[in-house]
A and B are shown apart, each in its own frame.
Chain A
Amino acid sequence: MASVLLPVSLLLAVLLLIPELFGDFTAYQIGLYLIYGIAAQGIGFLWGKTGVLPLGQALFFGVAAYITAITLRAEGGLVLDLALAAGVLVIMAVFAFALAALIFRGRNESGPYFSLITLALVMIAEQIAGTATNLTGGFNGMSGFQSLGNLDPFGGFYYVIVTATVAVSLLLFILNRLPVNLIARAVANNEPRLQLLGFPTHAVKGAVFAFSAVIAALAGGLFASHQGIVTPTSTGFALSAEMVILAAVGGRFHVLGPLIGAVIVGWASAELRDSFPYWELLMAVAFILVVLKAPGGIAELLESAYRRFRPVGTTVPKPAIVAPKPRNGVAKSRLQFDDVKLSIGFVRILNGVSFETPATGIVSVIGPNGAGKTSALNTITGNLRLTSGSISLGDTRIDSRPPHMALGVGIGRKLQVPSVFFSMSVSENLSIAMMANRAGLIDLFRPTTFQWRSKPLADLLEHPSVPLQEELVQPVEHLPQGHRQFLEYAMTIAAEPPVLLLDEPCAGLSPDETGLMTDLVRDYQADTGGLVIVIEHDMSIVEAISDKVLVLHLGQVLAFDTFDKVRSNPDVQVVYAGGTK
């Protein structure tokens, strides 16, 4: 807890000292910078973790400012004002969540489109604010109202701002230490993988966006009360961009970064504007330098300077807690393809595939390159939508559901090219996997969730030949391809899915490692009694592990039988002789 309380109490002390040391006018100015800084903190949280860059955050800031102005003008009393403010925040949150979740649904990237939508929205808001004179006062803005609770903007209101600043910072510091932080960062890292681990990434992004919108709205309300005037620029594009710049300069990966950015940039421009004619040039150059040389902003520079004389101590890992049982209670069931057809553009990939697996055992899928093996797995997990036909698991139809629902019905998936969270450490990768299919919403806000361990995962990690145990603190991006195979396998089985789909798990592995991987797969199947479907080219492996073999050719089932029968099938021999490593 010290790592949370120390910076927050330091922040509180510094902010409380400002009026004492520099007087009320400076405190008034700093108050305004802090208000922008709070909004920028929300941007930093959203952008630094999920990679979603909002370009229209002044929409929430400005609308909240206008509503606050209207409320304060009505002079309904403090209680009514606060109740209205709470209501506005809730509405903003719902609106922001719905907006982001709707736009991100069915996509697994955070590219520029969402950012441009927020930009267009804020431009609409600015235009309306400027022209709807009856409601907003037009370009002259709204003024002539008292501050919240009639506090003096040059006196008592500063402490309201300080309270809000400290409260938001404290909240962000706490969130940073909770499992939900890991999930938010995983979104920026590898969305398709997070979906296959059962997390609806569009909802995650929606929730974080809503959170940042609420923070912006809070800042907007403070702004109206502090400044006593609201104009269309408060809900404008320029302000939105400026708040992004504050977050970038200050440091979006750190809670206090955007605050530091806001105060430094605000103070510097106030000081330099009149005395130094080139100050805007200087600011532009400084900003470009930050983007190029210090993407982590001022906060990261400060932190690395601090770390130079106080390095990070090694943290003792907390004892493991037995993880709760995974949610997928689906009884062992057969996987059934019924005349599945799949075309992408003009290319027909699956041409009427029908088969039914047993409810338990290992089924190998073989076939020439381009036969449709990986695509078949993609239709099971919902990464590809069927053109026609159906896929069922037991009595449940599972085709054409989004990929994040696959694990919920018991389907775990390892991809062909190992797909992990590349800029996170091995142990962070495993932590996320342990939450998959186990953690409820509340668990994401409990620190003890980090300590979850399950027996299958522990056994795997402690296996003397599995390389991961020594690499726990390493970032995954430097692991060799073969070790990533083991990591992704570990992440997939951590959720203990009764149906396990493995796409060439032995690709890129040496003969010994291949033997190890097949042992692990066989043991997993024996322990769970579930169904494992493996795509594999190596016939000695296929022979060793398969209860049944499915041969695909040109998007159709060529044979589906035991290994010996498939091997002696003349149709199969024509297209696929097979070989070993």
Chain B
Amino acid sequence: MTSVLILNLAWQISTLALVALGLAIVFGKLRIMNMAHGEFVMIGAYAPVITSSLGLPGWLQLPVCLLTVAFVAFILERVVIRHLYGRMFDSLLATWGIAILLREAVELIFGRGYQSVSPPISGTLSVLGSDYPAYRIAVIIGIIIGFAALYWWNARSKVATRIKAMVGNPDLAEAIGINTARLSAGAFIFGCCTAGLAGLILAPTIRIEPMMGLDYLIRSFFALVVGGLGSLEGLGIGAGIIAGTQSFLGAVVSQTYGYLAVLTLSILFLWLKPDGIRSSSR
């Protein structure tokens, strides 16, 4: 029983970390308060619905997901986001509009009802004496490997530094030769694609519907707030605390108390430690 609890916790934490990763880039690095983040998760989750309705083979889910999300993100960056760098509250408003737009568009195409898809890996694995869905275990391992690779790459690449430089002082970044338009568009699209990927991965385990994004958006925001914007370790810790609190209290007391605890925790962090739990070691 406890091993199921632990595996559930690992599932919640790892998927939240993946969901929040894109927002960590777009909000944490680019300072765009992307209220449409959850909608990119939602679009990613519709990818298997698209492939099955078009009769495409299952292995096309991933390319369809990434291409769709990247295309939408590319257009939106070009038309809207590009004008909003350095205008955080305006970015919040405009992306709120984008979120409505995307929800409505998906609703027009796929309807308001729930969709569900089956996981590519079925069956269960026996872990520490309990049976647990094999798909979820594969996802947990995959996310851990993915984050390790990202951490390794991030420590060696200059991209994070260039983004930090660009956001802190865009004029100077241009003056030293950084193509800020391309760099910010690239970072935005990459962030949205990770959100889409998270949606695709979550799709077999949830009910897919146009309104599903909001909850992911809010939990991502609070994970970032608690963990601190700007570092991958912080993102992991934030996801751990938010998902951990919510699923632990949800299992032991009730969903409502888990939710209230997360909100209260977030307020305390925003007030007393606005740079998140990692701020002291910066």
Question: Do A and B contact each other directly (Cβ–Cβ < 8 Å)?
Answer: yes
The answer to whether B101 and A245 have CB atoms under 8 Å apart is: no
Per-residue contact bits, chain A 262-288, to B (CB 8 Å; 1 contact, 0 not):
000000000000000110110111011
Give the Cβ gap from B218 to chain A, nearest Cβ, in Å. Answer: 8
Known: A115-B92, A281-B104. 6 other contacts (CB 8 A): A113-B225, A121-B263, A280-B104, A291-B94, A292-B80, A292-B83
Give the Cβ gap from B80 to chain A, nearest Cβ, in Å. Answer: 6
List A contacts of B80 (CB < 8 A). 288, 292
Is the C-beta of B144 less than 8 angstroms from some C-beta in chain A?
Answer: no
Is the C-beta of B93 less than 8 angstroms from some C-beta in chain A?
Answer: yes
Give the Cβ gap from A97 to chain B, nearest Cβ, in Å. Answer: 15
Give the Cβ gap from A373 to chain B, nearest Cβ, in Å. Answer: 24
The answer to whether B93 and A248 have CB atoms under 8 Å apart is: yes
Is the C-beta of A203 less than 8 angstroms from some C-beta in chain B?
Answer: no
List A contacts of B100 (CB < 8 A). 280, 283-284, 287
The answer to whether A291 and B97 have CB atoms under 8 Å apart is: yes
Whether A124 touches B271, Cβ cut-off 8 Å, given contacts A283-B100, A284-B98, A284-B100, is no
Per-residue contact bits, chain B 75-98, to A (CB 8 Å; 1 contact, 0 not):
000001001100011101110111
List B contacts of A280 (CB < 8 A). 100, 104
| Cα of A111 to Cα of B88 in the assembled complex, Å | 8
The answer to whether A285 and B83 have CB atoms under 8 Å apart is: no
Whether A285 touches B108, Cβ cut-off 8 Å, given contacts A53-B92, A113-B270, A292-B83, is no
**Of B83, B100, B225, which is in contact with the most chain A CB atoms at under 10 Å from its CB?**
B100
The answer to whether B264 and A103 have CB atoms under 8 Å apart is: no
Candidates B94, B221, B225, B259; contact of A292 at CB < 8 Å:
B94
The answer to whether A117 and B267 have CB atoms under 8 Å apart is: yes
Whether A121 touches B267, Cβ cut-off 8 Å, given contacts A287-B97, A292-B83, is yes
- List residues of B (99-115) whose CB comes within 8 Å of A's CBs: 100-101, 104-105, 108
Chain A contact surface mostly: helix
The answer to whether B94 and A288 have CB atoms under 8 Å apart is: yes
- List residues of B (171-226) whose CB comes within 8 Å of A's CBs: 218, 221-222, 225
Count residues of chain A with CB under 8 A from any CB of chain B.
36
| Cα of A47 to Cα of B89 in the assembled complex, Å | 10
Is the C-beta of B169 less than 8 angstroms from some C-beta in chain A?
Answer: no
Interfacial residues, chain B to chain A (CB-CB below 8 A): 33, 80, 83-84, 88-90, 92-94, 96-98, 100-101, 104-105, 108, 218, 221-222, 225, 256, 259-260, 263-264, 266-267, 270-271, 274
The answer to whether B104 and A284 have CB atoms under 8 Å apart is: yes
Candidates B84, B88, B93; contact of A287 at CB < 8 Å:
B93
**Smallest CB-CB separation from B102: which chain A residue?**
A284
- List residues of A (436-491) whose CB comes within 8 Å of B's CBs: none
The answer to whether A131 and B256 have CB atoms under 8 Å apart is: yes
The answer to whether B259 and A127 have CB atoms under 8 Å apart is: yes
| Cα of A127 to Cα of B261 in the assembled complex, Å | 11
The answer to whether B274 and A285 have CB atoms under 8 Å apart is: no
Whether A124 touches B93, Cβ cut-off 8 Å, given contacts A116-B221, A280-B104, is no
**Smallest CB-CB separation from B88: which chain A residue?**
A112
Per-residue contact bits, chain A 112-135, to B (CB 8 Å; 1 contact, 0 not):
111111001101100110010000
| Cα of A244 to Cα of B89 in the assembled complex, Å | 11
Interchain Cβ contacts under 8 Å between A and B, 10 examples? A111-B88, A116-B266, A120-B264, A131-B256, A241-B96, A245-B96, A277-B108, A280-B100, A288-B80, A288-B101
Give the Cβ gap from A533 to chain B, nearest Cβ, in Å. Answer: 31
Give the Cβ gap from A193 to chain B, nearest Cβ, in Å. Answer: 20
| Cα of A288 to Cα of B263 in the assembled complex, Å | 29
| Cα of A244 to Cα of B95 in the assembled complex, Å | 13
Give the Cβ gap from A246 to chain B, nearest Cβ, in Å. Answer: 11
| Cα of A284 to Cα of B107 in the assembled complex, Å | 14
List A contacts of B108 (CB < 8 A). 277-278, 281
List A contacts of B221 (CB < 8 A). 116
The answer to whether A120 and B271 have CB atoms under 8 Å apart is: no
The answer to whether A53 and B267 have CB atoms under 8 Å apart is: no
List B contacts of A284 (CB < 8 A). 97-98, 100-101, 104
| Cα of A120 to Cα of B222 in the assembled complex, Å | 9
List B contacts of A120 (CB < 8 A). 222, 263-264, 266-267, 270
